[in-house]
Amino acid sequence: MVTRTRLYHDGTLVLEDFPVSDVPAHLADPASVLWLDLHRPGAAELTMLGQEFGIHELALEDAAHHGQRPKLDRYRTHEFLSAYAVTVSPDGAQLTYSEIAVFLTSQAMITVRKDDGLDIEDVVARWDESPDLAGHGVGFLLHGLLDHLVDGHFAAVQQLDDSIEDLEGLLFAAGRREIEAVQRRVFALRKSLVQLRRVVLPMREVVNTLMRPGLHLINDPLAPYYQDVYDHVLRATEWTESLRDLVASVMETNLSVQANRMNLIMKKVTSWAAIIAVPTAITGYYGQNLPYPGFGRESGFVTSAAVIVLLSALLYLTFKRKDWL
């Protein structure tokens, strides 16, 4: 297990990367606020965490298991938050998400990272960029984390939107490879959007709950910053929903384009069949073993050939004018 620590005293960063064993001594000072980050902790480390900070066993169980829904659970002495950081491959074909569990007490924020997907350095950089807010305690630390996560959600939605726009150039292409590419990418994008929606949609309730006055995590100076995060959550949620409708529209358009191409092919095949039927009918007529005008004479052959050419040309021009060929 890899750990990181930070200690703030009266809104000033005073210590970093100190041993976990020093945490109880630092918390004895009411003016101290600390951040403890646990990377891939085991069962023993989580048990120790529960003993040192009084974490409820149900919250520890949620932190140990993968696949939790983004949520905020309130306990008597602390809160438990579950959230996800997401990234999208350049082609939008694969969504990668990293789960993070967060324990919030009056003096500490403990993050439990289960993999390497969360860019924790960016979170630390956001804290360092706003030293004037550090005096607001745990709410300041939580804002930097949520701001990073929500910005990642927003960037993922924007990237998926760009991928859908790139499909417009392939949607009306006639090549077989382009058609197969559209079908595969549409399916991949729809799958990514479904997964992203499961991560983004519950964050609206999480941030909304954090902003309620009874939680006492956010004071008045921090309220506008959390409101900004909430606005980003709403935009990401609404954008995700609109992209789902757009992907469905792309799928329907793709099916319509394929149906129109099939109708066009059928028109062409039918038109050529009609043209070919003319010489077939005439040659079949002249192939009868019965006397007819021009029978056994060169004039009969010339007449039949002329009729074939004229009627075939007439049908071709007619179908061409109607855009059937």
Q: Where are the domains of the chain?
A: 2-258, 264-322
How many CB atoms are closer than 10 A to CB 62? 17
Domain 2-258 homologous superfamily, CATH: CorA soluble domain-like (3.30.460.20)
Q: What is the pLDDT of residues 25-79, one digit of tens each?
A: 888 888 899 999 999 988 888 888 888 888 999 999 999 888 889 999 999 889 9
Adjacency order of strands within the sheet including 79-88: 12-16, 2-9, 32-39, 108-113, 95-104, 79-88, 71-74
What confidence category does residue 100 fall into, taking pLDDT thresholds of 50, 70 and 90?
Answer: very high
Residues 6+ apart with CB under 8 A from 194: 244
With beta carbons less than 8 A apart as the criterion, state whether 262 and 180 touch: no
pLDDT at 67: 85
Give bridge partners of residue 102 from the DSSP assignment: 81, 111
Q: What is the pLDDT of residues 184-223, one digit of tens each?
A: 787 788 888 888 888 999 999 999 988 887 777 888 889 9
Query: Is pLDDT of 101 > 90?
Result: yes
What confidence category does residue 259 fall into, taking pLDDT thresholds of 50, 70 and 90?
Answer: confident
- State the DSSP code for 190: H
